[in-house]
Amino acid sequence: METIEADIVIIGGGPAGCTCALYTSRADLKTVILDKNPSVGALAVTHQIANYPGVDSEMSGDALLTLMRDQAVRYGADYRRAQVFGVDLAGDLKTVYTPEGTFKAKALVLATGAMGRPASFKGEADYLGRGVSYCATCDGAFYRGREVAVVGVNKEAVEEAQVLTKFASKVHWITSNDPKQEDFHAQELIRRDNVKHWSKTRLMLINGNDSGVTGITVKPRSKDEEETLALEGVFVYMSGSKPITDFLGDQIALKEDGGVVVDDFMSTTSEGVWAIGDIRNTPFKQAVVAASDGCIAAMAIDRYLNSRKSIRVDWVHQ
Ligand SMILES: Cc1cc2nc3c(=O)[nH]c(=O)nc-3n(C[C@H](O)[C@H](O)[C@H](O)COP(=O)(O)OP(=O)(O)OC[C@H]3O[C@@H](n4cnc5c(N)ncnc54)[C@H](O)[C@@H]3O)c2cc1C
């Protein structure tokens, strides 16, 4: 698999990550942004962003994010869609693992936001990594010819279920609310031969044994009885509001509320690693705050990589 080296790898392509990339690219630092899905972050799902300075009050969060991403790419940032599932923070070069390849960088920036959630279905935590997964692109191939379930109705659930249809013999799509009729991708998914849509159905329990998931128990709203399905994989895509730090293990300090601990320069407790935006679990989760964090980290990284004593401001052009 490909190994790519850069000065900076930024995990997360929201306003925090894209702003950081804009500044580091302009400082001539080789910058890679790894983003699992440009449609699922907090700004991407914001219907209308009326309070970001200087933009039209009718603009959607998605449109603003596209502008930010395009601007960073225009200055040289290498934006890639990839879900990070692990990092190694030891040593001078930080290593980032994705299904698409391994990335190594002198500076690592964590900008995955706070749209995560704690495991909340019965059995979810018990079988995490043993049949329960949050990444079809990472784990889908393990389920070739087997039955799996996808839980959730958001855009990410639809895209990940599409990936799974290439491998699994059957994909059970469990949605507590039905997807909209005008959602073309969801309707196309439902029509696929190896998809069974469990409409208005709740996941009650993930069943398993020592070797992992063996099935799930569901409760359709239209029936009095629960039903048990035999399958081997459960892919969960529910929204939440918890900092996304699961890929870090216990390699950096977190606050009690789950946010990453940083100093005034957005440096974490691990040298060469910064954290910006909602992943810090700031009390003021706003796009402009996330963008500001990205700028601060970028300038601190420029100083760190070039062993400068002082921060060099972006507007001093020689
Ligand atoms: C419904 C809603 C409405 C809001 N309205 C406003 C508003 O009107 N004005 C305002 O200023 N703010 C608003 N906010 C808050 C604002 O959107 C956030 O504060 C801001 O988007 C945080 O930016 P971020 O870059 O830290 O995270 P996010 O925008 O959440 O971006 C994180 C990115 O990281 C990616 N990612 C996550 N995990 C991984 C992984 N393992 N590997 C690779 N990539 C990963 C995600 O796909 C996403 O693209 C709103 C938030 C919500 C949820």
201-258 pLDDT, tens digit each: 999 999 999 999 999 999 999 999 999 999 999 999 998 899 999 999 999 999 999 9
Q: What is the pLDDT of residue 232?
A: 98
Q: What is the pLDDT of residue 239?
A: 85
Backbone angles phi and psi of 81, in degrees to 5? -85, 115
Is the CB of 20 within 6 Å of ligand 1? no
- Using only C-alpha atoms, the chain has a radius of gyration, in whole angstroms, of 21
Distance 147 CA to ligand 1 centre (A): 32
Distance 59 CA to ligand 1 centre (A): 16
**92 within 8 A of 272, measured Cβ to Cβ:** yes
Confidence of residue 146 (pLDDT cuts 50, 70, 90): very high
What is the number of the ligand 1 atom nearest to the C-alpha of 46?
3
CATH code of the domain made up of 132-236:
3.50.50.60
What is the number of the ligand 1 atom nearest to the C-alpha of 294?
25
Say which amino acid occupies 155: K
3-116+241-305 and 132-236: same fold?
Answer: yes
Of 203, 185, 205, 204, nearest to 195 by C-alpha is 185
Q: What is the pLDDT of residue 309?
A: 66
pLDDT of 318 > 60? The answer is: no
Confidence of residue 267 (pLDDT cuts 50, 70, 90): very high
Is the CB of 27 within 6 Å of ligand 1? no
- Locate the domains of the chain by residue range: 3-116+241-305, 132-236
**243 within 8 A of 281, measured Cβ to Cβ:** yes
Distance 37 CA to ligand 1 centre (A): 11
Q: What is the pTM of this model?
A: 0.92
**13 within 8 A of 67, measured Cβ to Cβ:** no
Express each pLDDT in 123-144 by its tens digit: 999 999 999 999 998 899 999 9
Q: What are the respective helix, strand and coil percentages of the chain, to the nearest 5?
A: 25, 30, 45
**126 within 8 A of 148, measured Cβ to Cβ:** no
Tell me which architecture the domain covering 3-116+241-305 has in CATH.
Answer: 3-Layer(bba) Sandwich (3.50)
pLDDT of 313 > 90? The answer is: no
What is the number of the ligand 1 atom nearest to the C-alpha of 289?
19
